[in-house]
Amino acid sequence: MGEIVALRQMSGGEYDAARAAIGNRKDAKPKWDQELCKLFTASGWAAEALARKEGMRPRSMQRLLSFGRFLAFAEKRRARNCLNGLTEWRFRHLWCDTAKTGNEYQRFDAVLKALQGPPTSARAIPANELFTKLCPIIEALMEYGTRHRVQDNPPAVAKLALNLRKLLDEWTK
Of residues 79 and 173, more confidence is placed in 79
Instruction: Confirm whether 7 is domain-assigned.
Output: no
Q: What does pTM read for this prediction?
A: 0.61
Kindly state whether residues 64 and 136 are assigned to the same domain. Answer: no
At 124-137, the pLDDT tens digits run: 777 778 778 888 88
Number of domains in the chain: 2
Task: Please check whether residue 154 lies inside any domain of the structure.
Answer: yes
Q: Which helix (H) or strand (E) holds 146?
A: helix 127-146
- On whether residue 62 sits in a domain, the answer given is yes
9-67 pLDDT, tens per residue?
888 888 888 888 887 765 567 888 888 889 898 898 899 999 999 999 999 999 999 99
Which stretches within 10-57 are classed as H helix? 12-22, 29-43, 47-54
- Looking at per-residue pLDDT, the higher value among 57 and 145 belongs to 57
Q: What pLDDT does residue 26 have? A: 59
Please say if the pLDDT value at position 162 is more than 70.
yes
Count CB neighbours of 166 within 10 A.
Answer: 11
The set of residues, in sequence order, having a beta carbon less than 8 Å from that of 79 and lying 6+ positions away, is: 112, 115, 116
Listed residue (156, 87, 135) closest to 115, CA to CA: 87
Do 87 and 157 belong together in one domain?
no
DSSP-derived letter for residue 135 is H
4 lies in a domain?
Answer: no
Same domain for 53 and 16?
yes
CB contact burial 102-132 (16+ within 10 A = b; e otherwise): eebeebbbbbbeebeeeeeeeeeeeeeeeee
73 near 112, Cβ under 8 Å?
A: yes
Q: What is the pLDDT of residues 61-111, one digit of tens each?
A: 999 999 999 999 988 888 777 888 888 888 888 888 887 777 888 889 888
Q: Decide if 152 is inside a domain.
A: yes
Write out the residue range of the structural domain in which residue 72 sits: 12-116
Give the pLDDT score at 1.
37
